[in-house]
Structure 1
């Protein structure tokens, strides 16, 4: 079971999550528990990130199972929640995930929103949900929730990556792999920045995805080393 987080909003979490799902075998499912910027449809609010994960999953989950908390405004979820009188609660996120067939999957992936410290309001963060889920699966299954970090390659990414890594490890979670995903087509010194990250991050390196004009899960998957994800302790 894996949680995908990023160094920032628009770091490429959905692209990398979809690519990893495309590479996975067996029963696989992806989740986007909280999403902003959803589009109204006759069937309710729909989020393109959640739909991208569903396209690479094969367990027939409903949209509501994949994305239970959806907001139309493309703003911070806790602000959207305040505006719609919705209560965001870390425990409720975990309860929802555990109510799905997630634990029966061969490969289950949960995509976060924003970065690791996404606020839920009332002094709670989405990272609290990950910690609670990790505690549950440790207690009941003897497993861990592995964190996969997506580094959005742009100016400032070194600082963002190291701070995010520090926060994840400080919360007692393990980064089982990281991906460098180029989000700025004109970023200078890509090779030098990538070399610096590889030197400073000891977690398994899953690959570098260059800037893609028309990105797809299948295309991004060709740049990833799925078998490099560290399962030690997971």
Structure 2
């Protein structure tokens, strides 16, 4: 979703100016950053229960890893209905990095399976290693990975200007730091655009925020952690 906000601020930011007169960097597409290491810190929402999507990578899906997580929870005593923050401190790390003490037996789409639970960090790395082309998987990889300075342009794409740009008086950093419910209202109240591409970007952001708000996520991952910017940037 951060990439969509980048694009939105580039298109409608009140004081946006591109810093690269020769066009966007072909590697980072002008953002000044590329996908770095997986960011485990934004993959679990401990204020949520497993039932309500605490494992954000698989939240809202009915895929095979979800069936495995349900069986794992039953096996090691994770209460599916209680927020993780109210349970054993070890559970978030297990969900992130796996459980190797015994295999998990589970059923998915009527078929029995058994195997060790490897963790959602492993699952995301597996997507990256497989060079997935699935749009959903690519969005997950982008969302749950840190952003680092582009090696091609050394971060000299229009990244800094994009952060300095404002939309309805808010910079991108200020918007990202809003509670999810407030950011949703902010995006919903943006004026209609004659540009269909801009409307599509706004619709993508709205859909993502509506879902995150529905499952009870209060705030988005720290943008400073994802981009490794100092906390007082912007």
TM-score (norm 1): 0.26
TM-score (norm 2): 0.26
Q: Structure 1 or 2: larger strand share?
A: 1
**Bigger Rg, structure 1 or 2:** 2
Q: Structure 1 or 2: larger helix share?
A: 2
With a CA cutoff of 8 Å and minimum separation of 6, indicate the structure with the bigger relative contact order: 2
